[in-house]
């Protein structure tokens, strides 16, 4: 049996070395390695692109969240020192002023500002406000604009409905009924004695 196997291997080697077998189209096709990189990339392309899109969208979301936090601190200071109250700045004018501090890609129409006062720090509720929607899934809340007076405790919430782009494989960062991502920045401070 072993002798027969060795003889078969020997015949196969001789057959492999013959020029007619080496030149056959089928053998050359099996030896061709030119398309393997394309085929291998096609296998991993969808998950790779999905991962890239998820990373980019998550990065943009985190960056926008930090931008909102900075805007709340910067614009909240104008309330804290009494500038808004002294100048009699209206709610719409305050929103316009705040939107100027945001990047161009943030649509001011999707920004919501809620400013209210509390009697003491124990009374502060800094949780996200419940949103109400109309039939078209647009937010219908009316927001407060109570900047307080000297020594008052103020809660300022800045909310932004960020467009959430759905990625491949069902990835989405949307957390609202209208398919957007709600980002919230909150600041609680005590007005200075101005």
pLDDT tens digit sequence for 95-124: 999 999 999 999 999 999 999 999 999 989
Q: Residue 7: is its pLDDT beyond 70?
A: no
Segment 60-80 shows an average pLDDT of 97
Question: What does the pLDDT read at residue 136?
Answer: 87
pLDDT of residue 91: 96
Helices 36-80 and 91-99 pack at an angle, to 10 degrees, of: 140
> Which strands form 153-163's sheet, in the order they lie side by side?
111-118, 153-163, 180-190
Q: What is the pLDDT of residue 125?
A: 85
Give the predicted TM-score (pTM) of the model.
0.74
Residue 85 confidence class, pLDDT cut points 50, 70, 90 = very high
Largest pairwise CA distance in the chain: 106
Q: Say if residue 21's pLDDT is above 60.
A: no
- 35 versus 130: which is more confidently predicted? 130
% the chain with pLDDT above 70: 81
Q: What gap in Å lies between CA 115 and CA 145, rounded to an integer? A: 5
């Amino acid at each position: 049996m072993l002798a027969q196997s060795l003889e078969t291997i020997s015949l196969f080697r001789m057959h492999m070395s013959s020029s007619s077998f080496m030149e056959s189209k089928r053998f050359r096709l099996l030896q061709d390695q030119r398309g393997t990189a394309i085929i291998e990339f096609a296998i991993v392309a969808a998950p790779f692109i999905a991962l890239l899109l998820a990373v980019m969208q998550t990065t943009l979301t985190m960056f926008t969240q930090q931008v909102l936090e900075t805007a709340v601190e910067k614009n909240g200071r104008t309330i804290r020192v009494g500038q808004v109250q002294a100048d009699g700045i209206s709610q719409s004018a305050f929103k316009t002023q705040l939107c100027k501090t945001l990047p161009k890609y943030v649509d001011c129409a999707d920004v919501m500002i809620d400013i209210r006062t509390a009697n003491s720090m124990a009374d502060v509720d800094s949780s996200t406000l419940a949103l109400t929607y109309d039939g078209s899934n647009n937010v219908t809340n009316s927001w407060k604009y109570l900047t307080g007076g000297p020594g008052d405790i103020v809660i300022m919430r800045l909310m932004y409905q960020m467009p959430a782009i759905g990625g491949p494989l069902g990835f989405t960062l949307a957390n609202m009924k209208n398919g957007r991502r709600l980002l919230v920045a909150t600041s609680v401070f005590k007005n200075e004695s101005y």
